[in-house]
Each structure stands twice: as structure tokens, then as C-alpha cells.
């Protein structure tokens, strides 16, 4: 079954790229949707466009195509990951506003009880964003902000990106080797 990846207009394109490339490497079927601003930010931050992944077997969906098959609960998909997830998209999902394909597949994931992983990229977080995250978590969404970590002793930005991408894969139940397993502080 397909894993749907949504890319919205928040900073975090490198994490989206790492998730997509890891899913491709693991042989997963991927559907990719990017908002207009998501495309711009991803291109600016990574030099890559979401459409580039069509050549790698990824199904590219248009964000304005609400007649797409994945907009229906009758079409099975395994999970939805929105990375990065803008606070605007987060608010729309929490309010049940499904005015584009990204917010619609999130609504389908919620109503069909499928896995929904949201990777909000904003700092500091406003009380409104925190309320939206809390309410979405209470109904089963996984809220996974890209937090810095140091226990893996990252040496590069890619190490930190890989950690967040690995945590996203963890939340999907997908094995990976993007960061070393915690060994209780022992080398």
C-alpha cells in the first residue's frame, strides 16, 4: 500500500527529501503531494523539486486535484506523512478543512483511522499551534516536530536531518539505519 507524503510551505525540505529517498530505498510505494509554497521552499532549500521523484517511481499528485483517487476513503493507503507541515496546514487539519489534496488525505486518514504523522516546523510555537497539535494528538495523529538531538553525537547537519527522518520512519514502523540505536550512554 502507498505511503502518502505531503510537503507544505514550511522550512524542512531536507527532511522531506531524506524521508522520500529512504522510502524509495526500502521499496515502498509513495504518493507525493506538494503545495505551491512547499515546492518553492523545497527547491530553495535542497535544489530539488518534488516532481523530480516521478522519475524514481513516485506517484506525483497535484495538490488542487480533489478528484484524485486518494481523496476517497475507499482507496487504501497505509499512512500520511506531512513533512514539513506548516502551522496553517496543521490548523486546517485540526478544524476539518479539506480544501486541497494534502488536507483532504489527512482528513481521510483521520476518519479511516489510518496513521497520520505531522512534522510541524515552526519556532517558537504559538498557543494556537500548540492547541492544534494537542487536539490532533488526542485523536490519534502523531505530532513529530524536528527536534535537535545530541545523544547520537551528530557531526553534520545531515546527521541531524537523518535523525528526524529516522524518527518519522520509526513512527511508520519502518526499519532503517539513519541513526545509531541508543545504547544507554555506552560507546
Concatenated DSSP letters of 149-162: --TT---SHHHHHH
Tens of pLDDT, residues 30-46: 999 999 999 999 999 99
Instruction: Identify whether 118 is part of a domain.
Output: yes
Q: What is the number of residues in the chain?
A: 187
Dihedral pair phi/psi, residue 48, rounded to 5°: -115, 150
Instruction: Identify whether 177 is part of a domain.
Output: no
Report whether pLDDT(179) > 70. Answer: yes
Residue 22's CATH number: 3.40.50.1950
Instruction: Identify whether 56 is part of a domain.
Output: yes
Residues 6 or more apart whose CB falls under 8 angstroms from that of 134 comprise: none
Residue 36 confidence (pLDDT): 97
Confidence of residue 73 (pLDDT cuts 50, 70, 90): very high
- Residue 174 CA to chain centroid, in angstroms? 14
Tens of pLDDT, residues 154-169: 999 999 999 999 999 9
Tens of pLDDT, residues 57-67: 999 999 999 99
The domain tally of the chain equals 1
Instruction: Identify whether 186 is part of a domain.
Output: no
Instruction: Identify whether 185 is part of a domain.
Output: no
Instruction: Identify whether 184 is part of a domain.
Output: no
Section 97-101 average pLDDT: 98
Whether the Cβ atoms of residue 22 and residue 165 lie closer than 8 Å to each other: yes
Domain holding 36, by residue range, is 3-171
Section 106-132 average pLDDT: 96
Instruction: Identify whether 111 is part of a domain.
Output: yes
Whether the Cβ atoms of residue 71 and residue 105 lie closer than 8 Å to each other: yes
92 vs 130: CA distance, rounded Å: 14
Instruction: Identify whether 176 is part of a domain.
Output: no
Q: Smallest Cα–Cα separation from 19: which of 164, 184, 156, 187?
A: 164
Whether the Cβ atoms of residue 6 and residue 102 lie closer than 8 Å to each other: yes
Residue 40 confidence (pLDDT): 96
Residues 6 or more apart whose CB falls under 8 angstroms from that of 155 comprise: none
Confidence of residue 186 (pLDDT cuts 50, 70, 90): low
Q: In what order do the strands lie in the sheet with 30-34?
A: 59-62, 30-34, 3-7, 79-85, 115-120, 142-143
Amino acid at each position: 500500500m502507498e505511503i502518502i507524503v505531503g510537503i507544505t510551505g514550511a522550512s524542512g525540505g531536507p527532511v522531506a527529501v531524506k524521508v522520500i529517498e529512504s522510502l524509495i530505498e526500502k521499496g515502498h510505494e509513495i504518493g507525493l503531494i506538494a503545495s505551491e509554497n512547499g515546492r518553492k521552499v523545497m527547491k530553495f532549500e535542497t535544489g530539488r523539486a518534488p516532481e523530480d521523484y516521478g522519475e524514481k517511481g513516485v506517484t506525483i499528485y497535484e495538490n488542487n486535484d480533489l478528484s484524485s483517487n486518494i481523496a476517497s476513503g475507499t482507496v487504501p493507503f497505509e499512512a500520511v506523512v506531512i513533512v514539513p507541515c506548516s502551522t496553517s496546514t496543521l490548523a486546517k487539519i485540526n478544524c476539518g478543512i479539506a480544501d486541497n489534496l494534502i488536507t483532504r488525505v489527512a482528513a481521510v486518514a483521520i476518519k479511516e483511522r489510518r496513521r497520520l504523522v505531522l512534522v510541524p516546523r515552526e519556532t517558537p510555537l504559538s498557543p494556537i499551534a500548540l492547541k492544534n497539535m494537542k487536539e490532533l494528538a488526542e485523536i490519534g495523529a502523531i505530532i513529530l516536530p524536528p527536534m535537535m538531538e545530541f545523544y547520537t553525537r551528530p557531526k553534520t547537519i545531515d546527521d541531524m536531518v537523518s535523525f528526524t527522518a529516522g524518527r518519522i520512519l520509526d513512527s511508520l514502523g519502518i526499519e532503517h539505519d539513519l541513526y545509531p540505536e541508543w545504547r544507554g550512554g555506552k560507546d
